[in-house]
With several copies, the nearest count.
Chain A
Amino acid sequence: MSADAPRYSTDVLDLFRRLPHRAPLAAGAGTVASGEALALERGAWVQFEARLDGGRVASCAFRAWGCPHTLAAAARACAAVEGLAIASAAAMPARQLAEELEVPRHKLGRMLVVEDAMHALIAHARALQSR
């Protein structure tokens, strides 16, 4: 037992309390791309949407059902892609999310859901752009 070990890092607690990048996206110009991934039995369901403007991810927001780590990771993943060029944007890898947010090992599968949803978003954004 390790009752004294904090269950959530300060970053996770902060992101969970504020839920920055929470959908809906602010109104604005440009097209909207979206991406989703879910694995309910693993405990995560994430939807991203992004406003695309001038070949860049102008803003990104999430909807999610999941534990505090999952919600925090979704918010973090949004922040990571904002401002990037669509052509070169990449999803934050699950491992990096887990490391930054000190996610317990048994929740790695949920981080993969976040990563997958972001891949889907970026793929959709590229498809929209090339149309």
Chain B
Amino acid sequence: MTDEAPIYLDYAASAPLDPRVVAVMRECLEDRELQANPASAHEPGRAAASRIEAARAQVAGLIGAPPDAIVFTSGATESVNLAILGAARAARDARGASRGPRHVVSSRIEHRAGRDSCRQLEREGFELCWLQPDAGGRIEAGQVADALRPDTALVSLMHANNETGVVTDIAAIAALCAEREVALHVDAAQSVGKLPVAVAAPGIALLSFCAHKLGGPKGVGALYLRRRPRPALQPLQFGGGHEDGLRPGTLPTHQLVGFGVACELARSALAIEAPRIRVLRERLWQALQPAMPLWRNGVPEPSVPGILNVGFAGVEGESLLLELDGRLAVSSGAACSSASAEPSTVLRALGRSDLAIQASLRLSIGRETTAAEIDRAARLLVAAVRRLRQALPVGALERIA
């Protein structure tokens, strides 16, 4: 990146493609032999299918799963929908005539994919228990223990929050769910490839993630499905029998091969990248101190390495973004919802006021971020905040916080 290109601190919205992923995707796009339909029985079809199976093994490898536990989808949103709607509806219909259990446990800090899937369940007659985080953005295993009921059909929680980066103790919750024989779905879109994630723990029935948060292409994701006991799922889509009947449609070879390589690369880089990125994040937080008064949304730890959510007293979010535009690419709230203007429900759940929320930015760091970029980004941010504060009404620093 030249000094002219904006500094990209929006990895949590989407990470740039790793050049090695681009290279293998190019190969797939340019090699005629690999462009057949992987469902076709002829030689080029089988060649494509065998590349897809290799990718499935790479994707599975990143979370310590066997390849046949992976169902490919169009992204984490679809994985999350398939897991939540699929598992809850299957449980409801398991005893015939919709008489199965209808209680579902989730939280107030889920990504919209999880939140809106659960809301749909409410419309379908399920009873939802929405766990409340503490002021630091944490959901505790004890809360899940208290929420479980004999008729709980599903627990669905995210591993790392996409706005604050705060991490939930999934291992403890998985143990609970295993003991109580409740299916647990984990939205791991923000943690896979950034923290060690292993589905070996028996309590995890379903786990969702996608390629574009870890250097792979947009438009492709995975749902892990425990093999034994295999959670029952009602598909969202029908036709064609691909992916064990759970997800029909022609498999996009180039996308899946890119996903596979991205997972392989993430796995081998994890031990070095995670601490490097964590150090960069704390360096950024320190370098922002001259913009005081400011605060951090969500506890610093436990967290994924790359996310820092900061609020700047007295700042108006839209003006701050325009001030930074073209120089720093960051999100106010989650990128997924930053097209809409409503304040982040996640930060609301942490108890932040709407004024504090609109004054907050999510800064997220990734594989290509350098210390020099961090320092330059901090200088830009401090200058921007200071400029906007120059003309602030008297008393605004206290009220907008």
Contact = CB atoms under 8 A, between A and B. Distances in A.
Query: Within the complex, are A and B direct neighbours (CB within 8 Å)?
Result: yes
B127 interface: no
B394 A22 contact: no
Contact of A68 (B46, B319, B355, B392): B319
Contacts of A46: 393
Contacts of A40: 355, 399-400
B391 A62 contact: yes
Nearest to B400: A65
A1 B49 contact: yes
Interface in A23-59: 23, 36, 38, 40-41, 43, 45-47
A16 B53 contact: no
A19 B391 contact: yes
Secondary structure of the B side of the interface? Answer: helix
Nearest to A117: B393
A2 B318 CA distance: 18
A71 interface: yes
B392 A16 contact: no
A126 interface: no
Interface string B375-401: 000000000000100111110100110
B319 A63 contact: no
A71 B53 contact: no
A99 interface: no
18 contacts: A1-B53, A3-B46, A3-B53, A4-B50, A22-B391, A23-B391, A40-B400, A41-B354, A43-B358, A47-B394, A63-B391, A63-B392, A64-B392, A65-B400, A66-B319, A67-B316, A68-B318, A71-B319
Nearest to B41: A7
B186 to A, nearest CB: 25
A16 B322 contact: yes
A41 to B, nearest CB: 7
Contact of A43 (B46, B314, B316): B316
A6 to B, nearest CB: 10
Interface of A: 1-4, 8, 16, 19, 22-23, 36, 38, 40-41, 43, 45-47, 62-68, 70-71
Contacts of A71: 319, 391
Contact of A16 (B314, B319, B400): B319
B396 A65 contact: yes
Nearest to A2: B53
Contacts of B387: 19
Nearest to A16: B322
Contacts of B392: 63-65
Given A23-B391, A62-B391, 15 more contacts: A1-B68, A3-B52, A8-B322, A38-B393, A40-B355, A40-B400, A41-B354, A43-B316, A45-B393, A46-B393, A63-B392, A63-B393, A65-B314, A67-B318, A68-B319
Closest 7 CB pairs between A and B?
Answer: A3-B49, A67-B318, A3-B50, A22-B391, A63-B393, A47-B393, A65-B396
A8 B43 CA distance: 13
Nearest to A64: B391
A47 B393 CA distance: 6
A43 B400 CA distance: 11
Contacts of A36: 393
B355 A63 contact: no
B319 A67 contact: yes
B316 A66 contact: yes
